[in-house]
Structure 1
Amino acid sequence: MNDSPGWATPGSDPSDGERPGAPTDRPVTGDPKWSAEQPPPGQWTSPTPGQTPPPQAPQQQPGQGWGPQGGQYGSPYGGQYGYPGGPGQWGQPPAAKPGVIPLRPLGLGEILDGAVATMRSHWRSVLPITLVVATVVQVLSLLAQKYAMSDLTVATEPGADLEESLNSLAVAMGALIGASFIAALGGIVATAMLTMIYSRAVLGNTSTISGAWRDSRSQLLRLFGLTLLLGLGAVLLAAVLIVPGALTRNAGLIAVGIFAVIPLITWLWIKFSLASPALMLEKTTVFKALGRSSKLVKGTWWRIFGITLLTNIITGIVAAIIVWPLTIVGMAVFGGGLGGIEDGTASTAWGALILSGIGAIIAQTIVMPIQAGVTVLLYVDQRIRREGLDLELARAAGIENYGTTGG
């Protein structure tokens, strides 16, 4: 049975099953064939097996989604893969490639290449978004490090008054938490807009910054709620497993809690890793997005974990290559050299902080779109593998007779 929702039109608010005019009592059967119901005017029609599609498919216009919201998508080819040239489909033409990826199940190299290709070909939309977010985040981080860490150093000096030390620690922690909160907000906005840009790049459509903002803003509060829910869930899970050992001062129990919480959080992280693109592209709710991610990841957890881990390793190495040389030069030139490093003043020197911040801005501007792109393309790949989404994408891209067996 294929009960997955279709693509919602970016910018619309109705959630799954609430599209105006959508049938509310559509029967659900185990037949993998296309639904015989006709969508409302302006939506894509669903051909039945053996039926020749219309001679001219509607062209995808800016602002449109990838299919009718709440639709039923299946694969007329049967089996796991629904794409031309798949298993048992010898003699079929190669999969179409209207955008940055071919419309078939993707390999690791194609996912990484698609993420980089989108950043390269749509840099006018991608890089300004990440550059602005990275600059704001790093400026706030720089100020927090400069003043919060300076206060923290004074508070921990021998002979410091206890009350003054506690006040300094509170101010430092408040500044760091505030900077982290602003950084999280910036990351959420960037992720939302990048998701829309990558979704259009799959169809070969260009995007603008204003268009990405218009398409994503209706889901920003929900994306913030999703991020907050996942973060709180991880904190609560860690507290439940580690706090009992800390309260009883039992080192063994603390160690068991730490060893238990790491794999559990990792498992949940991958299980819900596709919730963000599901939330944005299907225009659904937070809990439905979590359910969609869980369903799409099921049975392929290790594959998605491997691709995600490799992506983080690659982007981490790229970021380190950019950031660390500038940080070392800044601490050596402006931080007093080894003496400043030993007494902790090198890390709070203005010159060292500015050079380190510039490196972090460059690194984040490059790394952020790659990470977001891999997540979006993993989501698309899983829907192609499980739900035959390649057929709907082909129609949305205006490709005629795609996926037909009758010629």
Structure 2
Amino acid sequence: MPRPLAKGQRVCSPAVSLPPSDLRPLALGEIVDRAATFWRQHFRPLLILSMGFNLLTYILSKVLQLTLQGSPLIQASQGGGGDLAELGAAVFRLMLTMGGVLLGSLWLYYLNTLVVARYVVPTQLGDTVRLGDCVQRALKRLGTFTGAYLLSLGWGVGTLLLLSVPGGLLVGVGALLVARPDGASLRIVGLSLIAIGSILLGLGMLGALLWYLLRFCLLGSVVAMEDASAWRSFRRSGALLSGRVEPGFTGRVPVRAMILVTVVSIILIAVSILCGLPALILQLIYRNPDNPAVSLAPQSLLIPAELLQVMGQAVFNPLGLVVYATLYLDMRVRREGLDLERRLDAAS
């Protein structure tokens, strides 16, 4: 006889009746198809679960935008000059603001992943899930989730530094050659090294970002569905995405996850660009003639246009989160035989 469930555990426990869906190992195309079907069938609850996070992310980006407009750096770029110490302090404050907005937005994104996964995985397993339970689970696991998120940031920073070494070295050597007064030939070589190093540095930063998004795409699902500590959740999210589950190149789990992350990213970037066209057009119409990089668009027009973009993202972002939750469930089936375990529980 299966062990009776404690109060509040029904959503996570695999010891429930078999779902109506076909719980089995899925091909890549089946993961995308099942996620898209689920997103269409559960459009309203997924929108409700994501709208608040998208609004909070928009508020953070708006704070950054207003900070940039009032920054002394903008005044200096418009020919206003300014004290060197004041400009240095402005750069420092701007870097802190940008870093805070980036980290806060990323934290909200992974927290949204947790909330959506708490709805998607049990629903695909045939359980009934209330939206309030998803939010309660996120609040209950907030400390664990934040700890795992900070661990992921440390891992990501280490990867960023490692991938930035080649480009950084070339830029440094190039700068030394340009600074030497030995002749024009060394200056040309130095400028060439700086250009090549800058390209490598940019590629390294992009590679580190993509690796980070790939490596921790299941972190929210793990924290949502498993009662483990921050450290164990951090390691668990990596273990699920390591090794091989099938023969061939696409049988490697990192390759499978990379393909899914790429497909999701292309869709979301296209939607973001399309929904952001009204705000972009306004900024182009109201750009400052003296400084084209600065827009004078009134906030009364700009904010509604930006909220349109937020709405579009809230509509389509859950599709990507459903893909990650479905990948998590597929890894549980492939690595741990979750489908066989549920059949045995149903038969007992």
TM over 0.5: yes
Matched with 1:328 is 280
Structure 1 residue 272 displacement after superposition? 4.2
Which one-letter code corresponds to 1:106 in the other structure?
A: L
Residue by residue over 1:178-200, the C-alpha shift from the partner in whole angstroms, topping out at 9 and shown as x without a partner, is 43344234323322211100112
For normalisation by structure 1, the TM-score amounts to 0.65
Which one-letter code corresponds to 2:62 in the other structure?
A: L
Tell whether the 8 Å contact from 1:195 to 1:376 is kept in structure 2 after alignment. yes
Tell whether the 8 Å contact from 1:329 to 1:352 is kept in structure 2 after alignment. no
Asked if 1:237 corresponds to 2:159, the answer is yes
Distance 1:347 1:177 in 2: 25
Tell whether the 8 Å contact from 2:28 to 2:256 is kept in structure 1 after alignment. no
Distance 1:170 1:200 in 2: 46
Going from structure 1 to structure 2, the CA distance change for 1:361 and 1:206 (only over 3 Å counts) comes to: farther
Tell whether the 8 Å contact from 2:115 to 2:224 is kept in structure 1 after alignment. no
Distance 1:201 1:232 in 2: 33
Going from structure 1 to structure 2, the CA distance change for 1:224 and 1:164 (only over 3 Å counts) comes to: same
Name which of 230, 237, 254 aligns with 1:293.
237
Tell whether the 8 Å contact from 1:274 to 1:293 is kept in structure 2 after alignment. yes
Asked if 1:315 corresponds to 2:268, the answer is yes
Residue by residue over 1:378-404, the C-alpha shift from the partner in whole angstroms, topping out at 9 and shown as x without a partner, is 1111221222111344577xxx549xx
Asked if 1:119 corresponds to 2:39, the answer is yes
SS of the equivalent of 1:343 reads: coil
Distance 2:148 2:266 in 1: 25
Tell whether the 8 Å contact from 1:278 to 1:289 is kept in structure 2 after alignment. yes
How many residues align? The count is: 313
Structure 1 residue 305 displacement after superposition? 1.2
Matches within 5 A, 1:3-402: 41-43=3-5, 63-67=10-14, 98=20, 101-151=21-71, 152-162=73-83, 163-240=85-162, 241-242=164-165, 243-248=168-173, 249=175, 251=194, 266=210, 269-297=213-241, 298-299=243-244, 300=252, 301-324=254-277, 326-333=278-285, 335-336=286-287, 340=289, 343-346=292-295, 349-351=298-300, 353-393=302-342, 400-401=346-347
Structure 1 residue 63 displacement after superposition? 4.2
Tell whether the 8 Å contact from 2:107 to 2:149 is kept in structure 1 after alignment. no
Which one-letter code corresponds to 2:331 in the other structure?
A: Q
Which one-letter code corresponds to 1:315 in the other structure?
A: L
Tell whether the 8 Å contact from 1:323 to 1:360 is kept in structure 2 after alignment. yes
Which one-letter code corresponds to 2:152 in the other structure?
A: L
Structure 1 residue 155 displacement after superposition? 3.6
Tell whether the 8 Å contact from 1:347 to 1:353 is kept in structure 2 after alignment. no
Distance 2:158 2:227 in 1: 28
Tell whether the 8 Å contact from 2:111 to 2:220 is kept in structure 1 after alignment. no
Distance 1:269 1:369 in 2: 16
Residue by residue over 1:292-327, the C-alpha shift from the partner in whole angstroms, topping out at 9 and shown as x without a partner, is 333332122212211221121122212222222x12
Going from structure 1 to structure 2, the CA distance change for 1:203 and 1:395 (only over 3 Å counts) comes to: farther
Going from structure 1 to structure 2, the CA distance change for 1:178 and 1:348 (only over 3 Å counts) comes to: farther
Distance 1:228 1:260 in 2: 21
Tell whether the 8 Å contact from 1:203 to 1:393 is kept in structure 2 after alignment. no
Distance 1:191 1:265 in 2: 18
Distance 1:363 1:348 in 2: 21
Between Structure 1 and Structure 2, which shows a larger proportion of helix residues? Answer: 2
Matched with 2:186 is none
Matched with 1:24 is none
**Alignment root-mean-square deviation, CA:** 3.4
Going from structure 1 to structure 2, the CA distance change for 1:145 and 1:65 (only over 3 Å counts) comes to: same
Structure 1 residue 355 displacement after superposition? 4.1
Which one-letter code corresponds to 2:229 in the other structure?
A: T
Distance 1:182 1:144 in 2: 12
Structure 1 residue 247 displacement after superposition? 4.7
For normalisation by structure 2, the TM-score amounts to 0.75
Runs of 5+ in structure 2 lacking a partner? Answer: 176-192, 245-251
Distance 2:39 2:150 in 1: 27
Residue by residue over 1:56-105, the C-alpha shift from the partner in whole angstroms, topping out at 9 and shown as x without a partner, is xxxx988432337xxxxxxxxxxxxxxxxxxxxxxxxxxx752xx52111
Runs of 5+ in structure 1 lacking a partner? Answer: 1-37, 45-59, 69-95, 403-407
Tell whether the 8 Å contact from 1:274 to 1:379 is kept in structure 2 after alignment. yes
Of all paired residues, the percent bearing the same amino acid is 20
Distance 2:86 2:205 in 1: 36
Going from structure 1 to structure 2, the CA distance change for 1:269 and 1:350 (only over 3 Å counts) comes to: closer
Distance 2:284 2:238 in 1: 48
User: Mean Cα displacement is larger for which, 136-145 or 251-260?
Assistant: 251-260
